[in-house]
Amino acid sequence: MQTKDYMRVVGRRKPYSGGLEGTQGFFEMVIKLRGNQPFLPKGIYRFKTYDEEHEWTLKMLARPRAALPQ
């Protein structure tokens, strides 16, 4: 008597067909939050350690946006 290996399907994955249109809301929110201010300032930066670079990067990403002139 032969035994067969059976495969059980637990769930099915639906293909995502949203493309870039599905992320449009996220991009609009990012533009509203950051405006024309980049996430990281352009330039060349030198750090003594990776920890120092990581701390600076987090500080730049979390900094408040400058008030817009009214």
- Over residues 19-66, the pLDDT tens digits come to 777 788 888 887 887 777 777 888 899 999 999 999 999 988 887 766
What is the Cα–Cα distance from 15 to 19, expressed in whole angstroms?
Answer: 11
For the chain, the three-class secondary structure string (H helix, E strand, C coil) is CCCCCCCCCCCCCCCCCCHHHHHHHHHHHHHHHHCCCCCCCCCCCCCCCHHHHHHHHHHHHHCCCCCCCC
| pLDDT tier for residue 69 given thresholds of 50, 70 and 90 | low
Q: How many CA atoms lie within 13 A of 65 on its CB side?
A: 13
